[in-house]
Amino acid sequence: MTPERMLKRLFSLLLLCFTAAAWAQAPAGASPLFAATLHDLNDKPLAFESLRGKPMIVNFWARWCGPCRAEIPELVAAHDAHGKHGLAVVGIALDDNADNTRDFIKAYDMRYTNLLAKTQGVELMQSIGNPKAVVPFTLVIDRAGNVVGSKLGAMKKAEIEAYAKQLLGKN
């Protein structure tokens, strides 16, 4: 093999390595979420793909999580104010018990769509950019299914409102 050919191969290999490294560090998208099958509050499977095409604020939460409880009223308010304009607020409970989750949702008057992650909650959050699977964790997804924002920790009213307006083109 000629030195010139070896140099070209080395350069190609280095380019491939740099491209792979950049791809591996790119932020996760919503694809794993849209590929997931979650459960509704009647414990029936629901393909998340069925929600594609709607602007969404998707909030992962747990009954035992204090910050999750604190942000629920703000998510309810966003649903009430913007749901009629097309915004979907979707809660994903890290729970596998539909009865307990239904009782909690009723107690907190969570009028927006809620789904159960069952046993896949941790893996799902890790695959979409939350490596430690901490809650609350919120994704903001546009009509095309692209993640346009995310937040680890409780969202404040102003943040939720700004995202709702962005998603609905009210800026």
* Tens digit of each residue's pLDDT (9 = 90 or more) over 50-72: 999 999 999 999 999 999 999 99
- In the predicted model, is pLDDT for residue 19 greater than 90? no
Q: Are 36 and 149 in contact (CB under 8 A)?
A: no
CA atoms within 13 A on the CB side of 26: 10
Q: What is the pLDDT of residue 16?
A: 36
**Residue 91 near residue 110, CB atoms below 8 Å:** yes
Mean local confidence (pLDDT), 106-121: 96
What is the gyration radius of the CA atoms in the chain, in angstroms?
20
Q: By percentage, how much of the chain surpasses pLDDT 90?
A: 80
The pTM for the full model equals 0.82
Task: Give yes or no for residue 23 having a pLDDT over 50.
Answer: no
pLDDT at residue number 14: 37
Of 3-17, 29-43, 142-156, give the lowest mean pLDDT range: 3-17
Q: Does domain 31-167 have CATH number 3.40.640.10?
A: no
pLDDT for position 12: 42
Q: Classify the C-alpha dihedral 90-96-99-105 as positive or negative.
A: negative
Both tokens assigned to 10: 């080395």
Q: b or e along 100-134 (b: 16 or more beta carbons within 10 Å of the residue's beta carbon)?
A: ebbebbeebebebbbbbbbebbeebbebbbbeeee
Query: What span, in angstroms and rounded, lies between the C-alpha atoms of 57 and 131?
Result: 20
**Cis omega (within 30 of 0) for bond into 131:** no
